[in-house]
Structure 1
Amino acid sequence: MTDAIKIDVWSDIACPWCYIGKRNLENGLAVVAEDADAPQVEVTYHSYELSPDTPVDFDGDELDFLAGHKGMPREKVQEMLNNVTGVAAGSGLEYRFDLLQHTNTVKAHELLHFAKAQGAQHAMAERLMSAYFTEGRHVGRIDDLVALAAEAGLDADAARDALESGRHLSDVRADQAQAQAYGIQGVPFFVIDGKYGVSGAQPADAFAQITRQVWSERQQA
Protein backbone atom coordinates (compact mmCIF):
# COMPACT_ATOMS: atom_id res chain seq x y z
CA MET A 1 0.00 0.00 0.00
CA THR A 2 1.54 3.32 -1.11
CA ASP A 3 1.48 6.04 1.55
CA ALA A 4 -0.84 8.99 0.97
CA ILE A 5 0.49 12.05 -0.83
CA LYS A 6 0.78 14.87 1.69
CA ILE A 7 -0.33 18.31 0.55
CA ASP A 8 0.50 21.10 3.00
CA VAL A 9 -1.30 24.37 2.32
CA TRP A 10 -0.27 27.72 3.77
CA SER A 11 -3.14 30.18 3.63
CA ASP A 12 -4.96 32.95 5.44
CA ILE A 13 -8.69 33.12 6.15
CA ALA A 14 -8.68 36.70 4.83
CA CYS A 15 -6.91 35.87 1.55
CA PRO A 16 -9.36 35.79 -1.39
CA TRP A 17 -6.97 33.78 -3.57
CA CYS A 18 -6.59 31.21 -0.77
CA TYR A 19 -10.29 30.31 -0.85
CA ILE A 20 -10.13 30.07 -4.65
CA GLY A 21 -7.01 27.91 -4.35
CA LYS A 22 -8.72 25.71 -1.77
CA ARG A 23 -11.71 25.13 -4.03
CA ASN A 24 -9.53 24.50 -7.10
CA LEU A 25 -7.44 21.98 -5.14
CA GLU A 26 -10.61 20.19 -4.01
CA ASN A 27 -11.98 20.15 -7.55
CA GLY A 28 -8.69 18.83 -8.92
CA LEU A 29 -8.54 16.08 -6.31
CA ALA A 30 -12.17 15.16 -7.05
CA VAL A 31 -11.16 14.55 -10.68
CA VAL A 32 -8.23 12.25 -9.84
CA ALA A 33 -10.39 10.40 -7.29
CA GLU A 34 -12.19 8.95 -10.32
CA ASP A 35 -8.96 7.40 -11.68
CA ALA A 36 -8.71 3.63 -11.78
CA ASP A 37 -5.63 3.89 -9.57
CA ALA A 38 -6.81 6.87 -7.55
CA PRO A 39 -4.11 8.61 -5.49
CA GLN A 40 -4.50 8.69 -1.74
CA VAL A 41 -4.14 12.30 -0.58
CA GLU A 42 -3.91 13.94 2.84
CA VAL A 43 -4.40 17.73 2.90
CA THR A 44 -3.33 19.84 5.91
CA TYR A 45 -3.86 23.59 6.27
CA HIS A 46 -1.24 25.80 7.88
CA SER A 47 -1.39 29.33 9.27
CA TYR A 48 -0.18 32.43 7.48
CA GLU A 49 -1.21 35.98 8.43
CA LEU A 50 -1.18 38.47 5.57
CA SER A 51 -1.80 41.48 7.83
CA PRO A 52 -1.03 40.57 11.46
CA ASP A 53 -1.23 44.23 12.52
CA THR A 54 -4.91 44.50 11.51
CA PRO A 55 -7.21 45.32 14.45
CA VAL A 56 -9.97 42.88 15.36
CA ASP A 57 -12.57 45.57 14.68
CA PHE A 58 -11.34 47.44 11.62
CA ASP A 59 -13.14 50.74 11.09
CA GLY A 60 -13.97 50.72 7.40
CA ASP A 61 -14.76 48.46 4.47
CA GLU A 62 -12.49 46.34 2.31
CA LEU A 63 -11.87 49.26 -0.05
CA ASP A 64 -10.69 51.37 2.88
CA PHE A 65 -8.38 48.63 4.12
CA LEU A 66 -6.75 47.82 0.79
CA ALA A 67 -6.44 51.45 -0.28
CA GLY A 68 -4.61 52.18 2.98
CA HIS A 69 -2.65 48.94 3.11
CA LYS A 70 -1.49 48.96 -0.50
CA GLY A 71 -1.46 52.72 -1.07
CA MET A 72 -3.68 52.33 -4.14
CA PRO A 73 -6.50 54.60 -5.36
CA ARG A 74 -9.96 53.30 -4.45
CA GLU A 75 -10.83 52.98 -8.14
CA LYS A 76 -7.90 50.61 -8.70
CA VAL A 77 -8.81 48.63 -5.58
CA GLN A 78 -12.39 48.27 -6.85
CA GLU A 79 -11.06 46.98 -10.19
CA MET A 80 -8.93 44.45 -8.31
CA LEU A 81 -11.89 43.28 -6.22
CA ASN A 82 -14.09 43.00 -9.30
CA ASN A 83 -11.41 40.84 -10.94
CA VAL A 84 -11.02 38.45 -8.02
CA THR A 85 -14.83 38.24 -7.68
CA GLY A 86 -15.00 37.09 -11.29
CA VAL A 87 -12.25 34.51 -10.82
CA ALA A 88 -13.98 33.25 -7.65
CA ALA A 89 -17.24 32.86 -9.55
CA GLY A 90 -15.40 30.65 -12.03
CA SER A 91 -14.51 28.38 -9.12
CA GLY A 92 -18.10 28.32 -7.87
CA LEU A 93 -17.68 30.93 -5.12
CA GLU A 94 -19.86 34.05 -4.69
CA TYR A 95 -17.67 36.71 -3.08
CA ARG A 96 -19.42 39.61 -1.33
CA PHE A 97 -16.81 42.28 -0.66
CA ASP A 98 -19.68 44.70 0.04
CA LEU A 99 -20.53 42.64 3.15
CA LEU A 100 -17.02 41.63 4.20
CA GLN A 101 -15.88 42.58 7.72
CA HIS A 102 -12.11 42.98 7.70
CA THR A 103 -10.44 41.73 10.88
CA ASN A 104 -7.38 40.19 12.48
CA THR A 105 -7.23 36.45 11.73
CA VAL A 106 -4.93 35.06 14.42
CA LYS A 107 -7.83 33.67 16.50
CA ALA A 108 -9.33 32.08 13.40
CA HIS A 109 -6.01 30.32 12.86
CA GLU A 110 -6.01 29.15 16.47
CA LEU A 111 -9.49 27.75 15.87
CA LEU A 112 -8.25 25.86 12.80
CA HIS A 113 -5.60 24.18 14.96
CA PHE A 114 -8.22 23.30 17.56
CA ALA A 115 -10.37 21.83 14.77
CA LYS A 116 -7.39 19.90 13.42
CA ALA A 117 -6.95 18.22 16.81
CA GLN A 118 -10.62 17.17 16.57
CA GLY A 119 -10.23 15.82 13.03
CA ALA A 120 -12.40 18.60 11.63
CA GLN A 121 -9.91 21.03 10.12
CA HIS A 122 -11.31 20.87 6.58
CA ALA A 123 -14.88 21.57 7.73
CA MET A 124 -13.67 24.46 9.89
CA ALA A 125 -11.57 26.00 7.11
CA GLU A 126 -14.52 25.88 4.75
CA ARG A 127 -16.86 27.38 7.35
CA LEU A 128 -14.48 30.24 8.14
CA MET A 129 -13.76 31.17 4.54
CA SER A 130 -17.38 30.93 3.49
CA ALA A 131 -18.43 33.04 6.47
CA TYR A 132 -15.83 35.69 5.68
CA PHE A 133 -16.03 35.97 1.91
CA THR A 134 -19.62 35.06 1.06
CA GLU A 135 -21.72 35.80 4.17
CA GLY A 136 -20.21 38.92 5.73
CA ARG A 137 -19.69 37.19 9.08
CA HIS A 138 -17.09 38.41 11.58
CA VAL A 139 -14.22 35.93 12.01
CA GLY A 140 -12.04 37.82 14.48
CA ARG A 141 -14.02 37.86 17.73
CA ILE A 142 -14.18 34.87 20.03
CA ASP A 143 -17.98 34.82 20.32
CA ASP A 144 -18.36 34.81 16.54
CA LEU A 145 -15.71 32.13 16.12
CA VAL A 146 -17.35 29.90 18.73
CA ALA A 147 -20.63 30.16 16.83
CA LEU A 148 -18.89 29.19 13.59
CA ALA A 149 -17.15 26.29 15.34
CA ALA A 150 -20.53 24.97 16.49
CA GLU A 151 -21.86 25.30 12.94
CA ALA A 152 -18.91 23.20 11.75
CA GLY A 153 -19.89 20.47 14.22
CA LEU A 154 -17.41 21.25 17.01
CA ASP A 155 -18.16 21.55 20.71
CA ALA A 156 -18.78 25.24 21.43
CA ASP A 157 -17.56 25.19 25.04
CA ALA A 158 -14.36 23.36 24.10
CA ALA A 159 -13.75 25.79 21.23
CA ARG A 160 -14.26 28.77 23.55
CA ASP A 161 -11.84 27.33 26.09
CA ALA A 162 -9.21 26.79 23.38
CA LEU A 163 -9.58 30.35 22.08
CA GLU A 164 -9.69 32.07 25.47
CA SER A 165 -6.67 30.14 26.74
CA GLY A 166 -4.69 30.80 23.56
CA ARG A 167 -3.19 27.33 23.79
CA HIS A 168 -2.98 26.94 20.01
CA LEU A 169 -1.14 30.21 19.42
CA SER A 170 2.17 28.34 19.53
CA ASP A 171 0.89 26.08 16.71
CA VAL A 172 0.07 29.15 14.62
CA ARG A 173 3.55 30.57 15.24
CA ALA A 174 5.16 27.21 14.36
CA ASP A 175 3.35 27.22 11.00
CA GLN A 176 4.51 30.75 10.34
CA ALA A 177 8.09 29.84 11.24
CA GLN A 178 7.94 26.90 8.82
CA ALA A 179 6.65 29.19 6.09
CA GLN A 180 9.58 31.50 6.70
CA ALA A 181 11.99 28.56 6.58
CA TYR A 182 10.52 27.52 3.22
CA GLY A 183 10.86 31.09 1.95
CA ILE A 184 7.10 31.46 1.46
CA GLN A 185 6.30 35.14 0.87
CA GLY A 186 2.73 34.89 -0.37
CA VAL A 187 -0.26 32.61 -0.12
CA PRO A 188 -1.79 30.31 -1.05
CA PHE A 189 1.30 28.13 -1.18
CA PHE A 190 1.12 24.37 -1.60
CA VAL A 191 3.89 21.96 -0.67
CA ILE A 192 3.31 18.63 -2.41
CA ASP A 193 4.88 15.63 -0.70
CA GLY A 194 7.52 17.84 0.90
CA LYS A 195 9.37 18.38 -2.38
CA TYR A 196 7.24 20.35 -4.86
CA GLY A 197 6.19 23.94 -4.19
CA VAL A 198 3.16 25.35 -5.98
CA SER A 199 2.43 29.06 -5.58
CA GLY A 200 -0.92 30.74 -6.13
CA ALA A 201 -4.48 29.67 -6.86
CA GLN A 202 -3.68 27.31 -9.73
CA PRO A 203 -6.48 25.84 -11.87
CA ALA A 204 -8.05 22.56 -10.80
CA ASP A 205 -6.44 20.67 -13.69
CA ALA A 206 -2.97 21.80 -12.57
CA PHE A 207 -3.58 20.25 -9.15
CA ALA A 208 -4.89 17.10 -10.79
CA GLN A 209 -1.80 16.88 -13.00
CA ILE A 210 0.78 17.26 -10.24
CA THR A 211 -1.09 14.83 -8.00
CA ARG A 212 -1.06 12.19 -10.73
CA GLN A 213 2.61 12.89 -11.40
CA VAL A 214 3.60 12.45 -7.75
CA TRP A 215 1.45 9.31 -7.45
CA SER A 216 3.14 7.84 -10.51
CA GLU A 217 6.57 8.61 -9.06
CA ARG A 218 5.53 6.88 -5.85
CA GLN A 219 4.37 3.79 -7.71
CA GLN A 220 7.61 3.57 -9.70
CA ALA A 221 9.70 3.96 -6.56
Structure 2
Amino acid sequence: MQIEVWSDFVCPFCYIGKRRLENALSSFPHRDQVEVIFRSFELDPNAKEADGESMAELLSAKYNVSLEQAKGMCENMRQQAAGEDLTYDFDKMIPTNSFDAHRLVHYATENEKMNEMSERLFYAFFTESKNIGDHETLASLGEELGFDGEDIKRMLSTEEYTKEVRNDESMGSQLGIQGVPFFVFDGKYAVSGAQPSEMFEQALVKAWGDGQTLEVVGEDTNSCTTDSCDM
Protein backbone atom coordinates (compact mmCIF):
# COMPACT_ATOMS: atom_id res chain seq x y z
CA MET A 1 0.00 0.00 0.00
CA GLN A 2 1.14 3.52 -0.79
CA ILE A 3 0.12 6.50 1.33
CA GLU A 4 0.73 9.92 -0.19
CA VAL A 5 0.81 12.84 2.24
CA TRP A 6 0.50 16.43 1.06
CA SER A 7 1.83 18.76 3.74
CA ASP A 8 3.84 21.89 4.48
CA PHE A 9 6.59 22.15 7.08
CA VAL A 10 5.17 25.40 8.47
CA CYS A 11 1.67 23.92 8.90
CA PRO A 12 0.98 23.11 12.58
CA PHE A 13 -1.67 20.51 11.75
CA CYS A 14 0.67 18.70 9.36
CA TYR A 15 3.13 17.61 12.06
CA ILE A 16 0.23 16.49 14.26
CA GLY A 17 -1.33 14.60 11.34
CA LYS A 18 1.98 12.91 10.57
CA ARG A 19 2.27 11.67 14.12
CA ARG A 20 -1.33 10.43 14.21
CA LEU A 21 -0.82 8.50 10.98
CA GLU A 22 2.32 6.94 12.44
CA ASN A 23 0.39 5.95 15.56
CA ALA A 24 -2.23 4.23 13.41
CA LEU A 25 0.43 2.46 11.37
CA SER A 26 2.14 1.14 14.51
CA SER A 27 -0.80 -1.22 15.14
CA PHE A 28 -1.64 -1.99 11.50
CA PRO A 29 -0.86 -5.68 10.80
CA HIS A 30 0.38 -4.94 7.25
CA ARG A 31 2.53 -1.95 8.19
CA ASP A 32 5.65 -3.55 6.69
CA GLN A 33 3.92 -3.39 3.31
CA VAL A 34 3.07 0.31 3.56
CA GLU A 35 5.12 3.03 1.86
CA VAL A 36 4.58 6.64 2.95
CA ILE A 37 5.43 9.34 0.41
CA PHE A 38 5.52 13.02 1.33
CA ARG A 39 4.22 15.42 -1.31
CA SER A 40 4.96 19.14 -1.41
CA PHE A 41 2.30 21.75 -0.69
CA GLU A 42 3.01 25.43 0.00
CA LEU A 43 0.44 27.17 2.16
CA ASP A 44 1.88 30.51 1.08
CA PRO A 45 4.14 30.36 -1.98
CA ASN A 46 4.70 34.10 -1.61
CA ALA A 47 5.72 33.94 2.03
CA LYS A 48 8.64 36.18 2.92
CA GLU A 49 11.89 34.79 4.19
CA ALA A 50 12.33 35.27 7.93
CA ASP A 51 12.25 38.97 8.80
CA GLY A 52 11.93 38.94 12.58
CA GLU A 53 8.13 38.78 12.67
CA SER A 54 6.76 36.47 15.35
CA MET A 55 4.20 33.79 14.61
CA ALA A 56 1.57 35.61 16.69
CA GLU A 57 2.24 38.85 14.80
CA LEU A 58 1.94 37.04 11.47
CA LEU A 59 -1.36 35.41 12.46
CA SER A 60 -2.71 38.68 13.83
CA ALA A 61 -2.09 40.45 10.53
CA LYS A 62 -3.15 37.54 8.32
CA TYR A 63 -6.49 36.89 10.04
CA ASN A 64 -7.15 40.47 11.18
CA VAL A 65 -7.39 39.57 14.85
CA SER A 66 -5.80 41.14 17.91
CA LEU A 67 -2.34 40.05 19.02
CA GLU A 68 -3.87 38.53 22.16
CA GLN A 69 -6.33 36.52 20.05
CA ALA A 70 -3.45 35.32 17.89
CA LYS A 71 -1.52 34.25 20.97
CA GLY A 72 -4.62 32.34 22.11
CA MET A 73 -4.71 30.54 18.75
CA CYS A 74 -1.07 29.55 19.23
CA GLU A 75 -1.73 28.27 22.75
CA ASN A 76 -4.65 26.17 21.55
CA MET A 77 -2.46 24.60 18.88
CA ARG A 78 0.38 24.08 21.36
CA GLN A 79 -1.96 22.07 23.57
CA GLN A 80 -3.16 19.96 20.65
CA ALA A 81 0.44 19.19 19.73
CA ALA A 82 1.27 18.31 23.33
CA GLY A 83 -1.47 15.69 23.15
CA GLU A 84 0.68 13.90 20.55
CA ASP A 85 3.88 14.38 22.59
CA LEU A 86 5.01 17.17 20.27
CA THR A 87 6.46 20.44 21.54
CA TYR A 88 5.53 23.65 19.71
CA ASP A 89 7.40 26.81 20.73
CA PHE A 90 5.34 29.57 19.11
CA ASP A 91 7.14 32.35 21.00
CA LYS A 92 10.44 31.56 19.26
CA MET A 93 9.13 30.06 16.00
CA ILE A 94 10.52 31.68 12.84
CA PRO A 95 7.92 32.16 10.07
CA THR A 96 9.56 31.81 6.66
CA ASN A 97 9.17 30.52 3.11
CA SER A 98 9.17 26.70 2.92
CA PHE A 99 9.94 26.16 -0.78
CA ASP A 100 13.61 25.28 -0.31
CA ALA A 101 12.74 22.92 2.54
CA HIS A 102 10.52 21.03 0.11
CA ARG A 103 13.36 20.88 -2.40
CA LEU A 104 15.62 19.46 0.31
CA VAL A 105 13.14 16.63 0.94
CA HIS A 106 13.23 15.70 -2.73
CA TYR A 107 17.03 15.75 -2.54
CA ALA A 108 16.85 13.39 0.44
CA THR A 109 14.35 11.16 -1.34
CA GLU A 110 16.97 10.16 -3.89
CA ASN A 111 19.00 8.80 -0.98
CA GLU A 112 16.02 7.01 0.60
CA LYS A 113 15.77 9.42 3.54
CA MET A 114 12.49 11.16 2.74
CA ASN A 115 10.81 10.37 6.04
CA GLU A 116 13.87 11.19 8.11
CA MET A 117 14.30 14.56 6.38
CA SER A 118 10.62 15.40 6.71
CA GLU A 119 10.63 14.61 10.42
CA ARG A 120 13.81 16.62 10.94
CA LEU A 121 12.33 19.68 9.23
CA PHE A 122 9.11 19.56 11.24
CA TYR A 123 11.05 19.24 14.49
CA ALA A 124 13.47 21.99 13.50
CA PHE A 125 10.65 24.44 12.74
CA PHE A 126 8.14 23.74 15.49
CA THR A 127 10.33 22.63 18.39
CA GLU A 128 13.82 24.05 17.83
CA SER A 129 12.71 27.35 16.25
CA LYS A 130 15.18 27.03 13.39
CA ASN A 131 14.89 29.07 10.22
CA ILE A 132 14.09 26.38 7.64
CA GLY A 133 14.20 28.94 4.85
CA ASP A 134 17.91 29.57 5.45
CA HIS A 135 20.32 27.61 3.26
CA GLU A 136 22.97 27.24 5.97
CA THR A 137 20.35 25.83 8.33
CA LEU A 138 19.04 23.41 5.73
CA ALA A 139 22.58 22.25 4.94
CA SER A 140 23.23 21.66 8.63
CA LEU A 141 20.03 19.63 8.99
CA GLY A 142 21.03 17.57 5.98
CA GLU A 143 24.47 16.94 7.43
CA GLU A 144 22.82 15.42 10.50
CA LEU A 145 21.41 12.74 8.21
CA GLY A 146 24.75 12.08 6.56
CA PHE A 147 24.49 14.36 3.54
CA ASP A 148 27.22 16.68 2.27
CA GLY A 149 26.32 20.16 3.49
CA GLU A 150 28.25 21.88 0.71
CA ASP A 151 26.42 19.82 -1.89
CA ILE A 152 23.09 20.82 -0.35
CA LYS A 153 24.05 24.51 -0.50
CA ARG A 154 25.12 24.05 -4.11
CA MET A 155 21.80 22.42 -4.92
CA LEU A 156 19.80 25.14 -3.20
CA SER A 157 21.65 27.82 -5.19
CA THR A 158 20.27 26.28 -8.40
CA GLU A 159 16.80 25.32 -9.65
CA GLU A 160 17.28 21.63 -8.84
CA TYR A 161 14.16 19.84 -7.56
CA THR A 162 11.96 22.79 -8.42
CA LYS A 163 10.19 20.65 -11.00
CA GLU A 164 9.60 17.89 -8.44
CA VAL A 165 8.00 20.33 -5.99
CA ARG A 166 5.81 21.80 -8.73
CA ASN A 167 4.78 18.33 -9.89
CA ASP A 168 3.61 17.46 -6.37
CA GLU A 169 1.66 20.68 -6.16
CA SER A 170 0.11 20.04 -9.57
CA MET A 171 -0.94 16.55 -8.51
CA GLY A 172 -2.54 18.00 -5.40
CA SER A 173 -4.38 20.58 -7.45
CA GLN A 174 -5.72 17.90 -9.79
CA LEU A 175 -7.06 16.04 -6.74
CA GLY A 176 -8.76 19.21 -5.56
CA ILE A 177 -6.60 19.52 -2.45
CA GLN A 178 -7.06 22.94 -0.89
CA GLY A 179 -5.89 22.26 2.64
CA VAL A 180 -3.23 20.19 4.37
CA PRO A 181 -2.45 17.71 5.70
CA PHE A 182 -4.14 15.52 3.11
CA PHE A 183 -3.59 11.76 3.01
CA VAL A 184 -4.36 9.51 0.04
CA PHE A 185 -4.38 5.76 0.70
CA ASP A 186 -3.58 3.76 -2.44
CA GLY A 187 -5.64 6.19 -4.51
CA LYS A 188 -8.76 4.66 -2.97
CA TYR A 189 -9.42 6.51 0.27
CA ALA A 190 -8.41 9.92 1.55
CA VAL A 191 -8.32 11.65 4.91
CA SER A 192 -8.34 15.45 4.99
CA GLY A 193 -6.89 17.10 8.07
CA ALA A 194 -5.12 15.90 11.20
CA GLN A 195 -7.93 13.56 12.16
CA PRO A 196 -7.82 11.26 15.22
CA SER A 197 -5.63 8.17 14.89
CA GLU A 198 -8.80 6.03 14.87
CA MET A 199 -9.84 7.55 11.57
CA PHE A 200 -6.45 6.73 10.07
CA GLU A 201 -6.84 3.17 11.33
CA GLN A 202 -10.19 2.94 9.52
CA ALA A 203 -8.65 4.38 6.36
CA LEU A 204 -5.88 1.79 6.43
CA VAL A 205 -8.36 -1.06 6.71
CA LYS A 206 -10.62 0.32 3.99
CA ALA A 207 -7.78 1.03 1.57
CA TRP A 208 -6.32 -2.43 2.15
CA GLY A 209 -9.60 -3.83 0.81
CA ASP A 210 -10.95 -3.60 -2.72
CA GLY A 211 -12.21 -0.03 -2.87
CA GLN A 212 -11.97 1.52 -6.32
CA THR A 213 -13.04 5.15 -5.99
CA LEU A 214 -11.47 7.94 -3.98
CA GLU A 215 -13.58 8.70 -0.91
CA VAL A 216 -12.63 11.67 1.27
CA VAL A 217 -13.39 11.98 4.99
CA GLY A 218 -12.70 14.71 7.50
CA GLU A 219 -12.74 17.49 4.92
CA ASP A 220 -12.17 21.06 6.14
CA THR A 221 -11.34 20.10 9.73
CA ASN A 222 -8.00 20.17 11.55
CA SER A 223 -6.20 21.49 8.52
CA CYS A 224 -4.65 24.63 7.07
CA THR A 225 -5.55 26.15 3.72
CA THR A 226 -3.90 28.92 1.76
CA ASP A 227 -6.45 31.28 3.32
CA SER A 228 -6.95 30.02 6.85
CA CYS A 229 -5.74 27.70 9.60
CA ASP A 230 -8.36 26.48 12.10
CA MET A 231 -6.21 26.98 15.19
C-alpha contact 2:17 2:195 (8 A) present in aligned 1? yes
Q: Which amino acid aligns with 1:40?
A: Q
User: Is 1:77 aligned with 2:70?
Assistant: yes
Identity value in percent: 39
Equivalent pair of 2:191/2:200 in contact (CA under 8 Å): no
Check whether the contact 2:14–2:180 (CA below 8 A) recurs between aligned residues: yes
Which residue pairs with 2:168 in the alignment? 175
- Aligned residues of 1:13 and 1:132 also touching (Cα < 8 A): yes
| Secondary structure class of the residue paired with 1:197 | strand
Show the counterpart of 2:112.
119
Kindly provide the amino acid, as one letter, of the partner of residue 194 in structure 2. Answer: A
How far does residue 114 in structure 1 lie from its aligned partner after superposition? 0.5
Give 1:193's match in structure 2, choosing from 168, 173, 186.
186
TM-score, structure 2 normalization: 0.87
Q: 2:16 matched to 1:23? A: no
The answer to whether structure 1 residue 160 and structure 2 residue 156 are counterparts is: no
What is the CA–CA distance in structure 1 between the aligned matches of 2:44 and 2:52, rounded to whole Å?
A: 15
Q: CA deviation at 1:78?
A: 1.5
1:67 and 2:63 equivalent?
Answer: no
CA distance in structure 1 between the aligned counterparts of 2:19 and 2:137, rounded to whole angstroms:
24
Task: Report how far residue 10 of structure 1 moved.
Answer: 0.4
Instruction: Give the distance between the partners of 1:51 and 1:80, measured in 2 at CA.
Output: 19
Contact 1:96 1:136 in 2 (8 A): yes
Check if 1:202 corresponds to 2:195: yes
2:127 counterpart of 1:137: no
Higher relative contact order (CA 8 A, sep 6+): 1
Partner Cα separation in structure 2 for residue 152 and residue 111 of structure 1: 12
Give 2:102's aligned residue.
Answer: 109
Instruction: List, as ranges, runs of 4+ consecutive aligned residues in structure 1 with deviation greater than 4 Å.
Output: none
Q: Which range moves more in the overlay, 85-94 or 202-211?
A: 202-211
Q: How far does residue 195 in structure 1 lie from its aligned partner after superposition?
A: 2.2
Structure 1: how far apart are the matches of 2:209 and 2:3?
16
Q: Distance in 2 between matches of 1:13 and 1:216?
A: 31
* Preserved CA contact (<8 Å) 1:39 1:212: no
Structure 2: give runs of 5+ residues left out of the alignment. Answer: 212-231
Taking the aligned partners of 1:139 and 1:179, their CA distance within structure 2 comes to 23
Query: Deviation of residue 79 (structure 1)?
Result: 1.6
Q: Post-superposition shift, 1:84?
A: 0.9
Aligned residues: 211
Per-residue deviation, residues 97-134 of structure 1 (Å, max 9, x unmatched): 11101100000000011011111010000100000000
Q: Is the 8 A contact 1:39 1:211 kept in 2?
A: no
Deviation, structure 1 residue 75 = 2.0
Match of 1:146 in 2: 139
> What are the Cα deviations for residues 58-97 of structure 1, in whole angstroms up to 9, with x where unaligned?
3310011111122222222112111111110111101101
